């Protein structure tokens, strides 16, 4: 039986490359051991079959940004039931159009961004990318978010006008936003700098009870038809 050796050393010997290049191939998800992709250069191998994907490149994997359709009842940023736990290889949206290769490294050190109420569902962002983090934290108040809010009850006179501008929340006057009826029971909000609990409170001020809240857009990025509990990658070039 062969003595155990590091996967990076075995690959370097197998294809005649440097140890550094072998590690790059492995970390990029291009190397399989007995048919299973392995991303750890330190993995010890003996007689296993080691193969390099013919399409392999030495480009470093880019940090991932993941778009999740958070179901109601899950905590977006922090809490006992973090929505980040839903992001696994098995829950990737089958119709993800990005074509991004799934790597195990994409599930490490994901930071959730853009708060969303526990009882709300919809688009949520988790990222490894510092540029995305800065955009969605430093510029958060300038990025418009869009929500569909299902309501019950009868709206007060001039209620729609007041929803657009004229309400207060937590002691401060709210800036103008865009609110319209999507149908008889759903309102559509296009709003910036929304705070936890704000949409529910705004509706209550005009006589409406909120049944459900769903975020369908953050900046230029839409939720689309992705089902609850599923996620997709944010492709290169798509910005908030």
The model's pLDDT over 90-128, given as tens digits with 9 standing for 90+, comes to 999 999 999 899 999 999 999 999 999 999 999 999 999
Strands 209-218 and 121-127 come out as parallel
Give ∠ CA 91-96-100 in degrees, rounded to 5.
95
pLDDT level of residue 214 (50, 70, 90 thresholds): very high
Average pLDDT, the chain: 94
pLDDT of residue 159: 96
pLDDT level of residue 57 (50, 70, 90 thresholds): confident
Among 11-20, 88-97, 172-181, 205-214, where is mean pLDDT lowest? 11-20
Strands 168-169 and 145-152 come out as unpaired
Whole-structure pTM value:
0.86
**pLDDT at residue 40 tops 90:** no
126 vs 42, residue with greater confidence: 126
Give residue for tokens 């009842």.
73
**pLDDT at residue 77 tops 70:** yes
Q: Residue 229 burial (CB < 10 Å; 0-12/13-18/19+)? A: middle
d(CA 66, CA 235): 9
**pLDDT at residue 1 tops 60:** no
Which structural domains are found in the chain, ordered by start? 5-52 (3.10.290.10), 65-141+221-233 (3.30.70.580), 144-218 (3.30.2350.10)
């Amino acid at each position: 039986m062969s003595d155990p050796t590091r996967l990076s050393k075995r690959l370097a010997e197998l294809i005649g490359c440097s140890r550094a290049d072998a590690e790059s191939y492995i970390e990029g998800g291009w190397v399989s051991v007995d048919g299973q992709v392995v991303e750890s250069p330190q993995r010890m191998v003996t007689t296993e079959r080691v193969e390099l994907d013919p399409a392999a490149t030495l480009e470093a994997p880019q940090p991932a940004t993941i778009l999740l359709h958070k179901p109601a009842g899950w905590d977006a940023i922090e809490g006992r039931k973090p929505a980040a736990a839903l992001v696994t290889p098995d829950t990737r949206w089958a119709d993800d159009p990005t074509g991004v290769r799934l790597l195990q490294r994409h599930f490490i050190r994901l930071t959730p961004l853009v708060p969303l109420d526990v009882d709300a569902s919809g688009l949520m962002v988790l990222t490894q990318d510092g540029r995305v983090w800065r955009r969605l934290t430093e510029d958060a108040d300038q990025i418009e978010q869009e929500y569909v809010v299902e309501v019950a009850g009868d709206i007060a006179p001039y209620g729609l006008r007041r929803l657009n501008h004229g309400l207060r929340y937590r002691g401060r006057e709210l800036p103008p936003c865009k609110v319209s009826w999507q149908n008889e029971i759903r309102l559509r909000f296009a709003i910036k700098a929304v705070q936890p609990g704000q949409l529910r409170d705004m509706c209550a001020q005009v006589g409406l009870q909120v049944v459900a809240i769903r975020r369908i857009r953050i900046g230029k990025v839409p939720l689309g038809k992705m089902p609850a509990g599923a996620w997709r990658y944010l492709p290169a070039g798509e910005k908030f």
